[in-house]
Amino acid sequence: QEQLVESGGGLVQPGGSLTLSCAASGFLFSRSAMSWYRQAPGKERELIARIAVERITGNHRTPTYADSVKGRFTIFRDDDKDTVSLQMTSLKPEDTAVYYCHAEEPNGRFGNLEYWGAGIQVTVSS
């Protein structure tokens, strides 16, 4: 069974730091693009960080970020442990959201299979 389990969320004050982790299992993690999304109350889910994987070579591409988090958040993955993390610094109240781990697993000519974590709350407040 494919699973993505987020951890590390919680309450942090503005300007603080927090690191989220996502443990993956049940699929070919090393060949899967991994992303972090977030969804704030009343807003659509947005992509904030992603590490793509070249389908043919399996090489990991340079991470990309949403403008709202660029320079403050860093995504990284550990293919030996099948985990992907999100380091967050200089946190702002507008970063408050449920954060989701996401995977895209290659599926031959059928494209990709997509998997979602259940989400974890991050609250930035004094």
* Torsion angle of the four alpha carbons 28, 32, 34, 40, in this order, in degrees rounded to the nearest 10: -90
Predicted confidence pLDDT, tens digits, the chain (126 residues): 999 999 999 999 999 999 999 999 999 999 999 999 999 999 999 999 999 999 889 999 999 999 999 999 999 999 999 999 999 999 999 999 999 999 999 998 888 999 999 999 999 999
β-strand pairing of 120-124 with 10-12: parallel
| Separation of alpha carbons 10 and 97, rounded Å | 10
